[in-house]
Chains A and B, each alone.
Chain A
Amino acid sequence: MALDDIYKEVILDHYKNPRNKRDLPGAEVSCTRNNPLCGDEITVFAHVDDGTVAELTFQGAGCSISQSSASMMTEAAAGRTVDQTLELAGQFRGMMAGEVEPDDDRFGDLVALKGVVKYPIRIKCAVLAWDVLQEALQDTGRATGAQPHAVG
């Protein structure tokens, strides 16, 4: 069944029981973006401590692919350095472009999203959270040399 490729149990689990879906008071960085095609919206909050993504949460509304991807992302990225996280984002994008073969160690549950590649119009849903994270982290200044901006 082709649908089993996209609606895997682990995706539905993250969708129904999202991890780290909450505000993060005092977060150094946050960023909101939406997908104009479907209205899906994701906000990412992060505590960035000495170049490390110490804590990562999200808020949002949308389809199972966009929301489960955000949930998985918060688990996969937390504890990594900003540079490692941006690298992971690049690899995730590569997986969604069908160019990178995911390795289970780094990707964890995210591997489940590989099946979305067969549904080109849904790839944007899977990548949305990562776009937001990337933009948020670039604001931390690790990549650009700018100062982090406070939330609120």
Chain B
Amino acid sequence: MNTFDVEAVRRDFPILERTFDGKPLVYLDSGATSQKPAQVIEAESAFYRLHNANAHRGIYTLGEEATEAYEGARSRIARFFGVEDASRLVFTRGTTESINLVAYGWGRASLGEGDEILITEMEHHSNIVPWQLVAQATGARLRYIGLTDDGLLDLSNLGELLGDRTKILGVTAMSNALGTITPLKQLVDAAHAVGAIVVVDAAQAAPHMPLDMDGLEADFLAFSGHKMLGPTASGGLLAKRELLDRLQPMFGGGDMIREVFHDHATWNDVPYRFEAGTMQVAQQVGLAAACDYLDALGMEAVRAHEVEITRYAIDRLLEAGAVVYGPKDTDIRGGTVSFWYHDIHPHDLATILNEEGIAVRAGHHCAQLVMRRYGTPATVRASFYVYNTNEEVDLLVASLARAGDIFAS
């Protein structure tokens, strides 16, 4: 099953009909957030039009429908990651909140002096700063796996970095700045061998490649719905069930309690004890529709489409004289391509590309450790998804030449 009809996919995305000064939108910033298909927009809208009430509260029929939609979304989204027990999925606003929940509820609650947290220099700030806060609060030491010149994790000294003192390993499944796919299984096995738990940042991987939570044996896996065709503020934290039983709540409030007394409260069941206050019900329902959409395409086919376009983009960019960061081998990278074109500053380049209707990211991509490692303050980043085409890559490269003309004159 390797039929991927990109034109049919494009027809599902209403925003792709937009033009800017007569030029069609060329959206190459899916690494920041993806566009949404009509099916997702309709699912979220239908919830509001037909089923809206607060979940887990109403006795009336509409309230039951809302609860059913919300819990149905939980099962559907968990299944996208190969997880049958829906109670293993905690709903959050996305990867950042999920990682902070683990950092707070596990890191702060269990670490102390002499303990170590190991992360990598490839991480997004959202998988660095929460651990810095944990280290400051507990006295634990934060250590880093470095990067090779080719944009891979440098595992040559892993044996020295990972040991009995390591309690938590935090690692991205796919770099948002370099596109690198990390050797997760190898890292999970190494961490488990020394008794550490593994927190996977799947913000970039989940939308773009098959991810099997239990095949990976990851302890916690954080993902963002808005990067995988879902609404903003959808997403969650997947975990091994026994770890959720031990995880401390981060937010206190309505629906996360069983009983409240003057001086203390007892917790609701997992996963509700982590979902204080009114949750993003319509958004998670929209994300469930996004999972339906992606599974109908097939995640293997999504990955194959992106490998093809990424291969084409890297080849064309290199031909044009661009410097491309990260691995060039599409077997070990996703469709996030960071580059410099000649000496044109990324902000200037992004402004010029915008005039052609091309949306790219320019900046440090919330990965300043990566930027510093490769000696640049910023890059231009083109990131591809199910709706992108090789023709759009051609437009990108042609527009780079135009930028070159402006700055050469």
**A residues in contact (CB < 8 Å) with B:** 2-3, 6-7, 12, 37-41, 61-65, 119, 122, 125
Contacts and interface: CB of A to CB of B under 8 A. Distances in A.
Contact of A63 (B21, B345, B368, B406): B345
A37 B407 CA distance: 23
Contacts of B377: 38-41, 61-62
Contacts of B363: 37-39
B407 A39 contact: no
A65 B347 contact: yes
B351 interface: yes
B130 to A, nearest CB: 19
Nearest to A40: B377
B364 interface: yes
A115 B406 CA distance: 16
Nearest to A125: B347
Contacts of B346: 38, 63
10 contacts: A3-B355, A12-B406, A38-B378, A61-B377, A63-B345, A63-B346, A63-B348, A65-B348, A119-B351, A122-B351
A37 B345 CA distance: 13
Range for the number of chain B residues in contact with chain A:
10 to 19
B61 interface: no
Interface of B: 21, 345-348, 351-352, 355, 362-364, 368, 371, 377-378, 406-407, 409
Contacts of A2: 21, 355
B371 A39 contact: yes
A63 B362 CA distance: 11
Given A3-B352, A40-B347, 8 more contacts: A3-B351, A3-B406, A7-B348, A7-B352, A39-B364, A39-B371, A62-B377, A63-B346
Contacts of B407: 12, 64
A54 to B, nearest CB: 31
A39 B378 contact: yes
A61 B376 CA distance: 10
Contacts of A7: 348, 352, 406
Contact of A64 (B345, B364, B409): B345
B406 A38 contact: no
Nearest to B409: A12
**Across chains A and B, which 10 residue pairs bring their CB atoms closest together, nearest first?**
A39-B377, A63-B345, A63-B347, A39-B378, A63-B348, A64-B348, A38-B363, A38-B347, A3-B355, A38-B378
Contact of A62 (B345, B355, B364): B345
A64 B351 CA distance: 11
Contacts of B378: 38-39
A41 B379 CA distance: 15
Nearest to B372: A39
A40 B346 CA distance: 11
Given A12-B407, A38-B378, A41-B377, A6 B347 contact: no
Contacts of A6: 351
B347 A122 contact: yes
Nearest to B363: A38
Contacts of A65: 347-348
A40 B363 CA distance: 10
Contacts of A38: 346-347, 362-364, 377-378
A101 B85 CA distance: 64
A138 B351 CA distance: 33
A40 B345 CA distance: 10
A18 B407 CA distance: 15
Contacts of A41: 377
